Amino acid sequence: MLDIPSRVRVHVETLLPAQNDMGVCDAFEQYAPVGKPDAMNAPHPSKVAGIDSTVPSPAHTVAPAPAGPDSPHVPPPHPPGALLQDRLAGWVSDLTTLHELTERLARTDTLDGALREALRAGAALVGARRGLVVLEPADGQGPDSTTGLGLARSDLGHIETVPRSSLSYGRILDGLPGCDGAVAQPDLFAEDGLHPRHREVAARLGYAASYALPLSTEALGRLGAAVWLYDEPAEPSERQEHLIGLYTRYAAEHLARLLDVERSRACLATISEELLPSRLPRIAGVQLAARRRTGPRGGGDWYDALPLPDAALGLAVGSVTGSGPSAVAAMGRLRASLRAYAVMEGEDPVAVLSDLELLLRLTEPARSATALFAYCEPTLRRMTLAGAGHCPPLLIGERRTEFVETTVSAPLGMLSCWEAPSVEVATEPGETVLLYTDGLLHRTGDSADRAFARLHAAAAAAPRAVREDPDAVAEHVLRTVLPDGLADQDSEEDVVLLAARFE
């Protein structure tokens, strides 16, 4: 990140040779005595305040006015050092702009947000209106994506129909000779070798020039490439190229960090999904559906549905305390253990949860969990369930929408010995039993009473057509209880819904 002090003090003298190797961001203050005005007017000025003097002066730099005895109306020449001061003002302005842009980029915490911010900042630096960035890490581990600025999805689709070898960013990504740096196409329609498809797409989208840069780091190598599109033939000036080069080097490092985070999240999400049922079983007399939302660090909420002997069905939901990889691993162990106990003694939910509590207390004494297990007999439309510190199920039917009254009990692992009586529930044809975790309530931000009331109201307001499909019921409840995108936003609270509709 660029750190620019509020005051920049520059004293000009003949600098040491070592100072000539300083970069733009290496020094903003030079402490040296004032003097030697001849050095200020040297034909080849040295670097000043860490800024390469070979970089062209800003556009607003004032050139020295000609002077002579025959020019009485010509203003007097600038005092010594005025030109240098003007150049310094331009450099400070550029560095301040870079500082602001990198600060905005540093505040992005998602890969997609960082890509969009880098595109916007780059467009401002090179003077373009549109652009796109293609993320395609060289190690092949992904994620691969294309993000546009001022381009619709259909526009991106048209660009992707152009052969990569004709696109500036495509040549960078493919590592073609001479494309390891910036690739400028200042006048596309004037190029003799331009591919006909590229010419057609450029005319259709209305751009006439492009400027592309690679995004790469020393640690990860090539991450992708960014390209900005001009409406008319144009190319960035040397100073613009210098500034965008500085910005993209910082942007690439920031994108690399977010790429690592994104890969870790994706890996954790994959492991978490693999620990849950890949598909729900098909049992005569009952239809099943499930929804799950996981936080960015991964969590311990889970669900399960497994066939049992005598055409029975076991349904379970639960939540392990904590988040992250350890909670995901504990969730997997707990779910696997519950499946084993359910097969052996599923007709007695209290026994299943008692065995699970004993296992948890002996193997993981520092962890607690909530769980609910239901033994279902679809042909009789009957359920026997027991809960350990878990939210009561919601019964949704044509003539009633009510919570099932379960016994209040402590979570697993909280007491020296857990046991609570089971509850038997008889359902009518077409009624749905909704099991869920408390993350659904916590994400609302309301108190417990208000959250339960919101859940009940959402289920009661479900249209008749929705009630006939458990998948539609789960989706309706999720979107109604968590409106305005709350269901899809990152949150520390996991959400699980398991709906069973009896025929």
User: Could you tell me the CATH number of the domain that includes residue 259?
Assistant: 3.30.450.40
Q: Report if residue 48 sits inside a domain.
A: yes
Same structural domain, 102 and 119: no
Of the residues 267, 286, 313, the one at which a domain ends:
267
pLDDT higher than 90, residue 316: yes
Q: Report if residue 71 sits inside a domain.
A: no
Integer Cα distance of 414 and 437 in angstroms: 18
Strand partners, 48: 51
The residue with greater pLDDT, 82 or 309, is 309
Span of 127-136, 291-300, 390-399 with lowest mean pLDDT = 291-300
| CATH value at residue 412 | 3.60.40.10
Q: Report if residue 200 sits inside a domain.
A: yes
Q: Report if residue 342 sits inside a domain.
A: yes
The residue with greater pLDDT, 364 or 396, is 396
Same structural domain, 164 and 176: yes
Dump pLDDT digits (tens) for 101-160: 999 999 998 999 999 999 999 999 999 999 999 999 999 888 999 999 999 999 999 999
Of the residues 267, 296, 322, the one at which a domain ends:
267
Average pLDDT, the chain: 83
Integer Cα distance of 36 and 193 in angstroms: 55
In which band, very low, low, confident or very high, does the pLDDT at 397 lie, cut at 50, 70 and 90?
Answer: very high
Q: Report if residue 446 sits inside a domain.
A: yes
Q: Report if residue 310 sits inside a domain.
A: yes
Same structural domain, 97 and 119: no
DSSP letter for 61, please.
P
Same structural domain, 160 and 17: no
Integer Cα distance of 17 and 34 in angstroms: 19
Contact 239, 61 (CB under 8 A): no
Same structural domain, 214 and 132: yes
Dump pLDDT digits (tens) for 458-503: 999 999 999 999 999 999 999 999 998 888 777 778 899 999 999 9
In which band, very low, low, confident or very high, does the pLDDT at 73 lie, cut at 50, 70 and 90?
Answer: low
Q: Report if residue 136 sits inside a domain.
A: yes
Nearest to residue 281, comparing CAs of 370, 347, 356, 378? 378
pLDDT higher than 50, residue 57: no
Average pLDDT over residues 396-415: 88
Same structural domain, 333 and 384: yes
pLDDT higher than 70, residue 70: no
Q: What is the pLDDT of residue 75?
A: 57
Q: What is the pLDDT of residue 335?
A: 93
Integer Cα distance of 82 and 424 in angstroms: 91
Q: What is the pLDDT of residue 78?
A: 59
Contact 332, 373 (CB under 8 A): no
In which band, very low, low, confident or very high, does the pLDDT at 62 lie, cut at 50, 70 and 90?
Answer: very low
Domain count within the chain: 3
Average pLDDT over residues 214-221: 91
Integer Cα distance of 256 and 160 in angstroms: 24
pLDDT higher than 70, residue 339: yes
Of the residues 267, 286, 306, the one at which a domain ends:
267
Q: What is the pLDDT of residue 54?
A: 40
Strand partners, 313: 307, 376
Dump pLDDT digits (tens) for 38-53: 333 333 333 333 334 3
Same structural domain, 357 and 286: yes
Average pLDDT over residues 365-392: 93
Integer Cα distance of 430 and 434 in angstroms: 13
Same structural domain, 447 and 428: yes
In which band, very low, low, confident or very high, does the pLDDT at 90 lie, cut at 50, 70 and 90?
Answer: confident
Q: Report if residue 72 sits inside a domain.
A: no
Contact 500, 315 (CB under 8 A): yes
Q: Tokens 């990198």 correspond to what residue?
A: 102
Q: How many CB atoms lie within 10 A of CB 20?
A: 11
Q: What is the pLDDT of residue 6?
A: 41
Dump pLDDT digits (tens) for 224-276: 999 999 999 999 999 999 999 999 999 999 999 999 999 988 888 888 888 88
Same structural domain, 300 and 250: no
Q: What is the pLDDT of residue 415?
A: 74
In which band, very low, low, confident or very high, does the pLDDT at 323 lie, cut at 50, 70 and 90?
Answer: confident
Average pLDDT over residues 425-449: 93
Same structural domain, 315 and 442: yes
H or E segment at 159?
helix 153-160
In which band, very low, low, confident or very high, does the pLDDT at 366 lie, cut at 50, 70 and 90?
Answer: confident
In which band, very low, low, confident or very high, does the pLDDT at 18 lie, cut at 50, 70 and 90?
Answer: very low
With pLDDT > 70 as the criterion, what percentage of the chain qualifies?
84
Same structural domain, 497 and 408: yes
Same structural domain, 258 and 341: no
Q: Which domain holds residue 245?
A: 108-267
Q: What is the pLDDT of residue 74?
A: 55
Q: What is the pLDDT of residue 202?
A: 95
